[in-house]
A and B are shown apart, each in its own frame.
Chain A
């Protein structure tokens, strides 16, 4: 029996998108006739632009490539009104290069490497300038999470994945404290991964694999991790349910997925509470304008249940100026101000008056953090769910 149906194909008429995922290495055309018939039928139904989505097609041999491209070529030759957009992903490595010659041959075919559309505001957060903030944040949150993680099921010897690992410092801390058997740490920022590899090398940590990948379309195989973490990241995506679907997929049955998220409007401080409150309410609105939900924290339970998880556990903790060096807390707030009231507010077109008031709230939060009698807080929700057996 040579037929290996390890691919999935589906057509969504609403967005005229034909999605092929998995592995497509048939011996002959007959083995993928159902796929060819479905693609042919889909091409016959559409007007305008047809999207051929191969973002999650990990493997493709030439037999299958020729079947797909022959069908597309035949339809494009007959229908000059039709546009075909092949959507590839840089995560797979080969697919853009493989499909580009099709666009060279046919004027109504284009090949687009999907990566940025899914992350509407993330470019503000993932470039190199944000690294000091991320380091400071992890340092402060770790004082809480090291106590929270065992309650959510993290144990020595587990196979773990840290999705959206950023600069990888959380993975290093977990490795030191909990000794998992292995950690695969995945992120979509090459800048962050380069930094993460350097940090791991500097600390002599060798059993963390840092890999480039798209959290919503991971190249990782199904059901292979006991514990999957995804911290401060669902809130960055406009479709968090897609990420959770992937986290669910790569988690072993009986394993757990652990997520942390914020509710920024609940950031607080004394003195100057009103100004601080106003600014963080505006932070939530700013993020929403960039299609990100910095208020997601308390919604984690619903998201996990809707994704199919059971035995949901929730914790919340307040990172404060009393967790360590108050200046570290103040530095985080300053870096938030720099990004939110800087580039993001400017690109949204905010007035100078608004930006001045917006900045004042951050400065008041810093004032509260450094005040000898002050208190400043940043609340975080940690949630986890078990994948059913």
Chain B
């Protein structure tokens, strides 16, 4: 997002990212700790940010185009931090995220999330996005880029969110 102060960015091929599930946990833990150091309660903030970021990374891990660069970037906008995932995208991926974007706009998104949390059978594939939108009160935007890439951004103000 333009105008934000960039803090940290990790970039790699999408195949490398998606080759190892632990990347989600490790990237989210590392980036969260890095960007939280100057928050009033750095550990609490890092724990919250890591939880939200991990959900987004797990979604990108499962839903992305076959090849191209993957970038995870965190920037600061006033009191809020903005997580941006920039990933390759094919038709199926685009459909997946477009449907997610539609659901995130619904006025009953909190009910959708709580229902998805306990749904029987396989998990709702949008569950992580719904959680970040509802539990972390994130403003999420999903924007296709040139037909073969996609930018997912989540802006959230976590300071004091746990109190």
Alpha-carbon separation in the docked complex, A6 to B17 (Å) = 21
Chain A contacts with B in 64-81, Cβ cutoff 8 A: 65-66, 69-70, 73
Alpha-carbon separation in the docked complex, A268 to B44 (Å) = 43
Chain A contacts with B in 36-72, Cβ cutoff 8 A: 58-63, 65-66, 69-70
Does A25 lie within 8 Å of B24, measured CB to CB? yes
Chain B contacts with A in 101-132, Cβ cutoff 8 A: 114, 117-118, 123, 127-128, 131
Known: A61-B55, A62-B55. A69 touches B118 (CB 8 A): yes
Alpha-carbon separation in the docked complex, A58 to B49 (Å) = 12
The A contact surface, by secondary structure, is mixed
Instruction: List, in ascending order, chain A residues with CB within 8 A of B58's CB.
Output: 25, 61-62
Known: A94-B135, A101-B114, A211-B41. A58 touches B25 (CB 8 A): no
Alpha-carbon separation in the docked complex, A73 to B118 (Å) = 9
Among the listed B21, B22, B51, B127, which residue makes an inter-chain contact with A59, where contact means beta carbons less than 8 Å apart? B51
Instruction: List, in ascending order, chain B residues with CB within 8 A of A97's CB.
Output: 135
Instruction: List, in ascending order, chain B residues with CB within 8 A of A90's CB.
Output: 162-163
Does A59 lie within 8 Å of B50, measured CB to CB? yes
Instruction: List, in ascending order, chain B residues with CB within 8 A of A65's CB.
Output: 117
Is B148 close to A, CB under 8 A? no
Is A4 close to B, CB under 8 A? yes
Does B25 lie within 8 Å of A23, measured CB to CB? yes
Among the listed A4, A70, A98, A209, which residue makes an inter-chain contact with B135, where contact means beta carbons less than 8 Å apart? A98
Instruction: List, in ascending order, chain A residues with CB within 8 A of B51's CB.
Output: 59-60, 93-94
The B contact surface, by secondary structure, is helix
A5 to chain B, nearest CB (A): 12
Known: A211-B44, A212-B44. A101 touches B117 (CB 8 A): yes
When C-beta atoms are compared, the residue in chain A nearest to B135 turns out to be A97
Is A176 close to B, CB under 8 A? no
When C-beta atoms are compared, the residue in chain A nearest to B136 turns out to be A94
Is B91 close to A, CB under 8 A? no
When C-beta atoms are compared, the residue in chain B nearest to A58 turns out to be B47
When C-beta atoms are compared, the residue in chain B nearest to A186 turns out to be B43
Is B93 close to A, CB under 8 A? no
Instruction: List, in ascending order, chain A residues with CB within 8 A of B135's CB.
Output: 94, 97-98
A93 to chain B, nearest CB (A): 4
Is B79 close to A, CB under 8 A? no
Instruction: List, in ascending order, chain B residues with CB within 8 A of A93's CB.
Output: 44, 47-48, 51, 161-162
Is A341 close to B, CB under 8 A? no
Does A91 lie within 8 Å of B118, measured CB to CB? no
When C-beta atoms are compared, the residue in chain A nearest to B26 turns out to be A4
Among the listed A63, A190, A210, A219, which residue makes an inter-chain contact with B123, where contact means beta carbons less than 8 Å apart? A63
How many chain A residues sit at the interface, stated as a range, is: 35 or more
Is B5 close to A, CB under 8 A? no
Instruction: List, in ascending order, chain A residues with CB within 8 A of B21's CB.
Output: 2, 27
Does A211 lie within 8 Å of B42, measured CB to CB? yes
Is A193 close to B, CB under 8 A? yes
Best-buried of B25, B41, B117 by chain A (most CB within 10 Å): B41
Does B44 lie within 8 Å of A62, measured CB to CB? no
Instruction: List, in ascending order, chain A residues with CB within 8 A of B20's CB.
Output: 2
Among the listed B40, B127, B163, which residue makes an inter-chain contact with A62, where contact means beta carbons less than 8 Å apart? B127
Alpha-carbon separation in the docked complex, A102 to B114 (Å) = 9
Is A105 close to B, CB under 8 A? yes
Alpha-carbon separation in the docked complex, A212 to B48 (Å) = 13
Does A66 lie within 8 Å of B117, measured CB to CB? yes
Does B131 lie within 8 Å of A62, measured CB to CB? yes
When C-beta atoms are compared, the residue in chain B nearest to A60 turns out to be B51
Alpha-carbon separation in the docked complex, A101 to B163 (Å) = 18
Is A220 close to B, CB under 8 A? yes
Is A92 close to B, CB under 8 A? yes
Does A91 lie within 8 Å of B42, measured CB to CB? no
Alpha-carbon separation in the docked complex, A295 to B105 (Å) = 60
Does A62 lie within 8 Å of B128, measured CB to CB? yes
Is B75 close to A, CB under 8 A? no
A195 to chain B, nearest CB (A): 13
Q: Contact mask A97-123 → B, CB, 8 Å, 1/0?
A: 110011011000000000000000000
Alpha-carbon separation in the docked complex, A313 to B151 (Å) = 58
A-B contact pairs, 5 of them (CB 8 A): A23-B25, A59-B47, A190-B163, A209-B43, A220-B43
Q: List the interface of chain A (C-beta within 8 A of B).
A: 2, 4, 23, 25, 27, 58-63, 65-66, 69-70, 73, 90-94, 97-98, 101-102, 104-105, 190, 193, 197, 209-213, 219-220
Q: Add 6 more A-B contacts to A69-B117, A190-B163 (CB < 8 A).
A: A25-B24, A59-B29, A60-B51, A91-B44, A93-B51, A101-B117
